[in-house]
Amino acid sequence: MNMPTYDVIVVGAGAMGSAAAYRLARRGRRVLALDAHAPPHRMGSSHGGTRIIREAYYEHPLYVPLVRRAYDAWAEVEAESGRTLYVRTGGMMVGPEGGALVSGARASAVEHAIPHELLSADEVRRRFPHFRVPEGMAALLEHRAGVLLPEACVEAHLALARAHGAETRFGEAATGWREDGEGVEVTTAAGTYRADRLVLAAGAWMPELLGGLLPLQVERQTFHWYRPAEEPEAFGPARCPIALWEYGPGRFLATFPDVGGGVKAQIHHEGALTTCSDVARETTPEDEAPVLELLRRFLPGAAGPLVDTAVCLYTNTPDAHFVLDRHPASPRVVVASPCSGHGFKFASAIGEAVAALALDEPYPLDLSAFAVSRFAAAPAA
């Protein structure tokens, strides 16, 4: 049998795959990155103009070391690529003081000594008059939060990967893979490729590539952009922090400042379950109605004419935590990117972690919480 053509094949070249391809190629490995489309594109999970990056992580304090590394790694990619990828805006987590959002963010901030302020509704209204925080709610203000520019991030990672010698093949979907004693083989409609190692980072296409390994669900999400109805300058990144709003127990709205193209708003989760092949790619008035209602409630000056919409796919695990691990039955294969709708901010660091896993090298941060073995569906190695 022929020896592997590549050191590593990366299937999926969105946020996680592009970062992994870059980090592997930067280490001098022969890398092939495959994608069913031409990244950055709107068919998966790595788009939308802006994505939040925040450090006081309400989901769990275990993410804080990883997001801190991600901040540093994004800065490295900005320096090497010469592109702006991160815009600091500050960030507010708004909701009942004892709710999941504010209390969770505060727990992470306290445990990891993250600079923050806890503001009353009146204090928020004084400092950010366009924010309408209801009585009975509070806000945790985190100063280093901001937005990443996802299309630019993917483009930068891919350009740097190619600059370091990686090969990219787009419009070429992986239709299958297998591991044998000498390496890994990946098939596409165009041919068959061999490598010593394989990284699966295909986002919403992971259920098809993994079979029954993980109990994944793909969720349809929608983004909506609005032209501010009043004081447009008040909604730019200098004056309008990113915000998460807990508008009901465990129910969240995300709002983003206008960095060009309008103020963006989305309901986080609550989307219909779907698949990559069956998803409704066009938004409807029914998608927009609850978003606009919430925007009028919390950020009314932003609720002007609708400018644009987009569909995004979340690939969710049952516990909403990531999977970053070797395949239990195929140790040459690394499984990455089922990130449950909150992974983009980590992509720069996840690329490093995936590269370390693929090359059997140590990674300085603890990834044990992201192991495949926590799911009963995972077979024994």
Annotated catalytic residues are: 47, 50-51, 264, 268, 312, 345
What residues does 32 pair with on adjacent strands? 9, 167
Query: H/E element holding 96?
Result: strand 91-96
Neighbours of 273 (CB within 10 A): 12
CA gap 79, 87 in Å, rounded: 14
Which tokens is 168 given?
Answer: 């990219």
H-only helix segments in the chain? 15-26, 64-81, 100-111, 121-127, 150-163, 206-210, 285-298, 347-358
Other CB atoms within a 10 A radius of the CB of residue 281 amount to: 9
Q: Which of 343, 220, 344, 226 is nearest to 291 (CA)?
A: 226
CA neighbor of 158 nearest in space, from 301, 32, 298? 32
DSSP conformation letters of 339-381:
-TT--GGGHHHHHHHHHHHHTT---SS--GGG-GGGSTTSPP-
